[in-house]
Structure 1
Amino acid sequence: MNIASDIKPDRRERALAALAEKPDGVVEAIAGKAEVTPAEILEILPQGAAVIAGKDRFIDIWSEMTAWGTVLFIVHTDDIVLEAEGSLPAGSEGHGWFNIHGDSPIGGHIRKDNCASVTFVDRAFHGRRSCSVWFMNDKGSAMFKVFVRRDENRELIGDQLQKFEALRDRYAAS
């Protein structure tokens, strides 16, 4: 799934210029500077840095990530960057929501039908490799992100990284 060719040339040029200025910066800040969406920034990352899966894969991807152990769950809006560490609980659909409850600080209700795609992001962030899964809405913003955690030496946790890469590679191949 790739919509980079759908980005209007003027928006694409602004996005490329902003990304070139700070290639390892916060995607939302880069998008804001270029007056484009975060999805448009993800679309112009180097080949393989953003692998997009269809929205129909939401439950499959979520279910697989429940076995990753403690992850970093982030909700980034204009007003807050909320970070929570915990395991992803199994979810179930009901009353128009994907409901997640369990023995984790991560819980609540996700409007799954607002998910337009799921993007596996593997890029430098402030000089260090960062791997995450972004659940994107149809407005081009992340509903939420799930990050591979780091150990005490600030290195990506090997087991989680392997699981991320395997899941990403499955969607890159399709």
Structure 2
Amino acid sequence: MPSQSEGFYVEELVMTQQTVEPSEVATVLPGSQAQALMTELATWRNTTTIVIVAGCVFEFKGVFPAGSIAEGYYNLALGEMGFSGHIKLQAIESIRLMERKHRGTDSFAFVFEDRKGQAIFKVYLGRDDSHAIHPEQLEQFRQIKANGLQPA
């Protein structure tokens, strides 16, 4: 079981890869907007990206990397933080905007899901040193939740 590390509350890590309950979600974006959303996320301050595979939890805390399309994938650029990857955009069916309390703390995430409704990965809003959500990220999250993703 993961524990606290370097001041980061690992509350989000205990969230499973299972489908998000409908009562926890008010907004779902189509997977066709994944590239636009990831491009937007790359302009934000630190976020926390979580990937859960076979009971293993992988976490990256930092600025979500910018990316570009090549060979059928959205390729995340290897930045100074060491987080990179290759995202098959066609595998993303939907993006749920999750807003819920977890252990008494507000939690906000973009949950990228496959056709079966399973989480591929999640991007949580970043927190400052006092564990408060970055206010500008919360404002942007709520704007996307209320109005959808606006074209650049």
> TM-score, normalised on structure 2?
0.80
Aligned residues: 137
Give the stretch that moved more between structures: 163-172 or 81-90: 163-172
Shift of 1:27: 4.8
Does the alignment pair 1:28 with 2:16? yes
Structure scoring higher RCO (CA < 8 A, sep ≥ 6) equals 2
Q: Which residue of 2 aligns with 1:51?
A: 27
Does the alignment pair 1:73 with 2:61? no
Does the alignment pair 1:153 with 2:141? no
Distance 2:136 2:78 in 1: 22
The 8 Å contact of residues 47 and 127 in structure 2, kept in 1 or not, is answered as: no
Distance 2:110 2:84 in 1: 17
Deviation per CA, 1:138-168, whole angstroms, max 9, x where unpaired?
1221111111122222221212211211222
Shift of 1:50: 3.6
| Greater strand fraction, Structure 1 or Structure 2 | 2
> TM-score, normalised on structure 1?
0.70
Query: Matched residues, percent identical?
Result: 25
Does the alignment pair 1:83 with 2:48? no
Give the number of the structure whose alpha-carbon radius of gyration is greater.
Answer: 1
Shift of 1:72: 0.6
Q: Secondary structure at the match of 2:16?
A: helix
What's the RMSD between the two structures over aligned residues?
2.3
Segments of 5+ residues of structure 1 without an aligned counterpart are 1-25, 30-37
Q: Which residue of 2 aligns with 1:92?
A: 68
The 8 Å contact of residues 47 and 62 in structure 2, kept in 1 or not, is answered as: yes
Segments of 5+ residues of structure 2 without an aligned counterpart are 1-13
Distance 2:43 2:116 in 1: 29
